[in-house]
Amino acid sequence: MGGTFDPVHYGHLRLAEEMAEAVGLARVLFIPAGQPPHRGAPRTESPHRLAMVRRAVAGNPRFAADSREVDSPRPSYTVDTLTALRAELGDARPLWLLTGADAFLGLPTWHEWQLLFGLANIIVATRPRAQPLAADALPDTLRDAVSHRLVADAGDAGPAGSVLLRPMTPLDISATAIRDTLGRGRSARYLLPDAVLDYIHEHHLYGQP
């Protein structure tokens, strides 16, 4: 599971927990982007974002923080990260990319995005009360690429190449809103783990004194 995690919050953690349970994952890697190529520079430097992720996932034996994109001097392309993970895992083990619906709809803008299907399966977290995400509602380019890859259950997927849509508990939490809340001197407690909030205060991030 990739992202800027600026900062990591309960929405990220719950998505990972529910999707991992749906697929039966043994491990979930949270991989903060070092230099995200699809958006402006993150508000917070990558070592801080990695440290916050490490605090957030501590205590969950299935979760781990992965520093490979932060450590790399190159832009953080998902295709490169999945290529490296696939080389580590071999060709036979299933590998899943966890993502939200908004990111999935933007997939055709990603670097070499069509290669992703040869490297991993994709599980997309959809919001139950939102308009259902169906093949006929996708942009043409994405629909052509994924319509024959959609599966109803993780058991129908192989090591790579399938797309699974799963509803998740709706949590209207965003990193942008958290940064704005903290910048205005208001409380962000219960939007993100206390350990992460403590780190933000310790390092005076997002306008905190």
Q: Is the pLDDT of residue 131 over 60?
A: no
Query: Which tokens hold the place of 153?
Result: 């259950």
Q: Is the pLDDT of residue 127 over 80?
A: no
Whole-Å CA distances, 117 to 33, 162, 165:
20, 7, 15
Q: Alpha-carbon distance 141 to 145, whole Å?
A: 6
Q: pLDDT tens, 149-178? A: 999 999 999 999 999 999 999 898 999 999
Domains and CATH numbers, the chain: 2-202 (3.40.50.620)
Q: What rounded mean pLDDT belongs to the chain?
A: 92
The more confident residue out of 149 and 129 is 149
30 and 65 Cβ atoms separated by less than 8 Å: yes
Q: pLDDT tens, 51-88? A: 999 999 998 999 999 999 999 988 889 999 999 999 99
Give residue 36's pLDDT: 78
Phi first, then psi: what are they for 92, rounded to 5°?
A: -90, -25
